[in-house]
Structure 1
């Protein structure tokens, strides 16, 4: 049977799921969900179309575009393109997903070519991409620093497009056990930190008197974590960007729990950690940023922050059952904290980079 030719076209983000033209967006959303279910073998990363609708809208800090591959009337693939608007204006990110029925027909290559063309037209000279890889003894590794990433279809596709692997993140999962375990770790961390720091918590919106300090933490986080060879500069964060991020989380029906450490003597925020929970599936929790500013390190604040937020998570979201986190494999400090808390590796994420032609 002859396959219909594939065309690449932009898909607009509709104002609502019942708006004219929203059917294509919903199809894209379910295609992305199907790929995540196929890869992970569960729905822990399922994003309801309504949440994806909120998450795919462009904002003052980021332009988001959707390119779809259409074969006849069917959407058989998608490329998501993100372009920063307030910093890192040289770069962008791309994610290509193809339906199983259309694989090995060049659809992914066509989608990527259109995404690269879009980025280049916006004067971007660098594209980043991410690949996920489950722990396995069956696939051979790529040589060198990338030895933790198997030479599977995703890695081979990225390599064939001209991307180079610059960083490997460990994907870990914590199965929440006895509350007493978290409380014991928290008390040990409190004792190690001493009386020089106090914990501050909030959910949703950062208190007005802390928002500037919190914006600084978010900005420093953008360059604090190991980046390997990724050519990324410090992000620009201020109150407006914090509020933009909070509004997007609300629109995506997510609850955000923040734990911050404050220096008692000065009132300075020394560090923070963030947990995200989507209300469509509160059993699954995502660990976001964790940062301790350089001048405050050595006081076990990282452990204090993460243990305190896990204790608070149990109180705020009793349905929570497991937590996922991503850390650079070279970030031994944060990995040791996670291991002490009970996180176990389940896979790896490759961070890839490609320089675009100046032509």
Structure 2
């Protein structure tokens, strides 16, 4: 009885149970957002390729397992071990599974962004570089997970594995930064168009790319800072719990935002018609969800064709068909 009272008096629930409970509940709420976004994606983008649908499905299913593990971990830490905090000298088995599942989600999403970068830039070396950082992070997480399953003391585990944890999160952040910079730069190079609505659309894509990448990379850096600054405090692990759901939501946001891009199609048509003085052309902003047929030159509806002839150079300047499929 005395030993139990001593272990209870030395145990500080605010640095172990508190952060895990708060961030675990926040992660559960983010998983709800992920599920809603997945529903919107499958309902609105039925024409997407099988590979993209499989990617979204994999992220959703892995995060479902992540959610179940978090619920099991919270139950163990707040109910099963109540009155016996000595059992929290090691993390529950569900917490070790959370580490492993998180790495799978992040790797899938980063591979998706690396593929998008390759499709947009056709630069194989840059995409391979991003994947190399992702592979290094994944291997580090595998080693960390194996050691987590065999840990005997949580305090010693944090002290000994801090460098490995920082390596995993640093490489993840660098991968995000390279991918974001590459996508934004290639979008900027495609910005040279005389059509105002097209320029606005590309600017919006660049802004969204930077916005989503900043959130995911800053969260990875935050985990590193918390690990270094708050010793013997598991706020860093709590932030880790929310990280994969933030990344999964960022991917679904980038896919579902194509609905907003479709809204620019009608204003773009009316703008070109008024600017060209009666010239009626069809401007198609193609996304993966909508695949309208490109209108050939011979089928253009040109009013007053005899009065307004169009030669080949003028046609090249107009650029009536804008394809942004590789950008979204």
Which TM-score applies when normalising by structure 1?
Answer: 0.21
Give the structure with higher Rg (CA): 2
Which TM-score applies when normalising by structure 2?
Answer: 0.23
Instruction: Answer 1 or 2: which has greater strand percent.
Output: 1
Instruction: Answer 1 or 2: which has greater helix percent.
Output: 2
